[in-house]
Chain A
Amino acid sequence: MKGNIALCEGAISAGCDAYFGYPITPQNEVPAHMSRMMVELGRIFIQAESELAAINMVLGAAACGKRAMTSSSSPGISLKQEGISYLCGCELPCLIANIQRGGPGLGNISGSQSDYFQATKGGGHGDYHIIVLAPYSVTEMYDFARLAFELADKYRTPVMILSDGVVGQMMEPVEIVGSGKLEVGSSDNNKNDWKLDGCKNRPPRRICSLLMAENALEAHNWHLKEKYDKIEKDEVRCETFQTEDAELVVISFGITARIAKSAVTKLRKENIKIGFIRPITLWPFPKKIISDAAGKSKKILVAEMNLGQMVEDVQLAVKNRCPVDFLGKPGGGIFTENEIISKIRQIL
C-alpha cells in the first residue's frame, strides 16, 4: 500500500466524517482515494476551490462536532495557516496532513522536511501550538491518522501529520493492528457540550476566536497554555534505539530517521557505540529524552532534509552538555544510508 492511501484508510477507520482538499503534488492520491471512498461510505468529500476554502470547510465541520480532515503539501499548507490559527483559537479538533515537498516558494515536488519550523512553531499568527506527528513508514501513516483524530478530540486541538513526499509515495506492506477508535486516555472534552447543531432544548452556543472584552483574550491564552502544558507532559512520543551505552546519538525524524536507523544498525555490527532517537511527536518535543541522552553520550548528530530546523530544538534540549553536529539535505531530496554513515565516521 502507498503511504498516502494508508493515511486515507487510517482516517476512514477512525471515523473521519468529512474530507476537504485541493490538488497538489505529492499528495494527490489522498483526495483521489477519498473522493471514491468517502462517497461510497456515505460520508462527505469536497474538492474545494482552494486550500483556504478547504481548511475553512474543516472549521465548519469541526464546529458541528464532526471528525474532519484536510491534506496538502507545503505551499498549500502555507495557505491553510490562517485557518489553523482560527481552529486553535476556537479550539476545534481536526486532522491536517502535510505531505512535504521542497521549498521555499513553489520549490519542487520531491519529499522534504523543510516545514518543521512552520509545523512546530505555529505557522500562523498568535500564540498557539498544534500536535505534530511524524510518521516514517506506511504503517505509521495508517496508525497516526487514527491517533491524530483521538488526540485532536482529547484536547480540542488540530493535529498535523507532518509526512513527506517520500513516505507519501512509498509503497510497502502495511501491518494493520486494530481499526476504529484508539484508547488515548480520558479527557474532559465532550463534544456534546460545545458543538453547534441548533439550540433545541439548550441555550444557544457560539464558537469564536474574537475576544474583545477586557482581559478575555489573555484569559483564553492562559487557558490554552494550560492545555499545551498538559500535552507536553502527557503526549510526548519518541523512539529510542541503543542509546544506553551510546557515545554518539543520531537524532532524526520521519523518512530520514528510517535511513539513520538503518545506518546505526549497520555501525553497531562493527561494535561502534552508537544510538538513535526518533522524535515521533515533533510538538510536544521529546526534550527530556534528548536531554538525558546528551548527559550520557559524547556527541549528538542531527540529520534532517532541510538546512537545520529540528537541530535548534535539539540544541535547546542539550543545553551545551555535548557537541551537536548537523547533517542537512535541502532542496527536496533523500539521504542515502552511506551519506549518513560517512558523516558519522567523520565525526566519531
Chain B
Amino acid sequence: MNKIYCRTESLTEKRFSYCSGCGHGIIHRLIAEVVDELKIRERTIGIAPVGCAVFAYDNWNFDVTEAPHGRPPAVATGIKRCLPDRVVFTYQGDGDLAAIGTAEIIHAANRGENLTVFFVNNANYGMTGGQMAPTTVIGQVTTTTPFGRDAKREGYPLKVCELLSSIEGVCYLERVSVSNPKNILKAKRAIKKAFENQVEGKGFSLVEVLSQCPTDWGKTPEESIKWIDDVLVKTFPLGIYKECTKK
C-alpha cells in the first residue's frame, strides 16, 4: 500500500484545539507543508499571536515564540535583523494586525523588513467570543455590533492588502481564502511564494487568508464556507495586490 498523505514533519502530533470548521487548522498545515517542501524547518522561527492561534506553538514543530497583541512584526524585526539567514514569519489575526497592531505592521512593511506575514482575516475576534474586528463587514452582527456593523457608528471594514499596496517597502501581497479545495491550493501557492521571497531576500511579503469562524459567526461549517464565497469576498476580493519584480 502506498501512503500518499500523512502528517508533515513541521506539524507535531498535538491535536489542533480549534472548533469544527475553523480555518486555522488548514492554514497551520499549509504553512507546515510549505516549510517542509522548502526544507527550511531547521531555520524557521515563527511568531504566534494573541488569539485562538496562540497555541500554534503546540502544533508547529520548529522554533516559535509569542508576542504581545499586535506586536509580532516588531518581535519578528528584532529576530530577523539579528539572524538574517533564518526564516522568520508572523501569524496574526485581524484584531492583532489591523486594530491594535496597525502601527507595527505598517512600519515593518515600510522598512521593507525581509519577513513573511500570514494575516488570518475571519472578520471578528474569535478567541474573545466574536466581537467586531476592523474587518467585520457592513451589516455583520457580532457581540459588539448587535444591530449589525453600521458604517456611521463603527466605520468601514479595513482592507489591509489595499492599504499596504501603496507602501514602497512591500514586495508581495495576496489575498486568498481557504473556503474550498481550489482556493486552498491557491492559498498554498501564495504561502510558498511569500516564504520563497524571504529566502531570496526580496523583502516584505504578506498573505491575507479569509478564514471561516463558524462558532462566532453562529453558522454551521458549511454555511461559513458559503458565507466567505458569497459575502466576505465582496468586501475583500481575492487576488494579488502587489508583486515586486526586483531581485
Contact = CB atoms under 8 A, between A and B. Distances in A.
Nearest to B87: A198
A205 interface: yes
A333 B63 CA distance: 48
Interface stretch (A25-33, A62-70, A127-135): A62-70
A49 B81 contact: no
Interface stretch (A52-60, A105-113, A159-167, A285-293): A52-60
Per DSSP, chain B at the interface is helix
A207 interface: yes
Contacts of B184: none
Interface of A: 17-18, 20, 44, 46, 48-50, 52-54, 56-64, 66, 68, 82-83, 86, 90, 196-201, 204-210
B79 interface: yes
Nearest to A83: B68
Interface in B75-107: 75-83, 86, 103-104, 106-107
B8 interface: no
A53 to B, nearest CB: 4
26 contacts: A18-B78, A44-B82, A53-B74, A53-B77, A53-B103, A56-B68, A56-B74, A60-B76, A60-B78, A61-B81, A64-B45, A82-B68, A83-B71, A86-B68, A196-B79, A198-B43, A198-B83, A199-B61, A199-B63, A200-B42, A201-B42, A204-B62, A206-B63, A207-B65, A208-B57, A208-B66
Contacts of B43: 198, 200
A64 B43 CA distance: 12
Given A59-B67, A64-B83, A208 B48 contact: yes
A193 to B, nearest CB: 13
B27 to A, nearest CB: 19
B78 A59 contact: yes
Given A17-B82, A49-B104, A61-B81, A56 B60 contact: no
Contact of B74 (A57, A199, A208): A57
Interface of B: 41-45, 48, 54, 57, 60-68, 71, 73-83, 86, 103-104, 106-107, 111
Contacts of A204: 60-64
A18 B60 CA distance: 28
A59 B77 CA distance: 10
A63 B61 contact: no
A20 B78 contact: yes
A56 B48 contact: no
Contacts of A44: 81-82
A66 B81 CA distance: 11
B78 A208 contact: no
B110 to A, nearest CB: 8
Contacts of A66: 82
Contacts of A197: 45, 63, 83, 86
Tell me the dominant secondary structure on chain A's binding face.
Answer: mixed
Given A48-B74, A208-B65, 16 more contacts: A46-B111, A49-B107, A53-B71, A56-B104, A57-B78, A58-B78, A59-B71, A60-B75, A62-B78, A199-B63, A200-B43, A204-B63, A206-B57, A207-B65, A208-B48, A208-B64
Contacts of B75: 56-57, 59-60, 63
A50 B79 contact: no
Nearest to A53: B74
A57 B111 CA distance: 14
A225 B43 CA distance: 34
Contacts of B103: 49-50, 52-53
Contacts of B67: 56, 59-60, 86
A56 B63 contact: no
Contacts of A205: 63
A205 B63 CA distance: 5
A54 B73 CA distance: 11
B44 A196 contact: no
A49 B62 CA distance: 29
Task: Identify the 6 closest CB pairs spanning chains A and B, nearest first.
Answer: A60-B78, A56-B74, A49-B107, A57-B78, A200-B42, A198-B43
A90 B60 CA distance: 19
A34 to B, nearest CB: 14
Contacts of A68: 78, 82
A206 B43 CA distance: 14
Given A66-B82, A206-B63, A207-B65, A52 B74 contact: yes
A283 B181 CA distance: 58
The winner among B48, B54, B60, B81 for most chain A CB atoms within 10 A is B81
A123 to B, nearest CB: 15
Contacts of A208: 48, 57, 64-66
Contacts of A58: 78
Contact of A61 (B60, B78, B104): B78
Contact of A198 (B42, B61, B65, B74): B42
A198 B63 contact: yes
A49 B169 CA distance: 15
Contacts of B83: 64, 197-198
Contacts of B42: 198-201
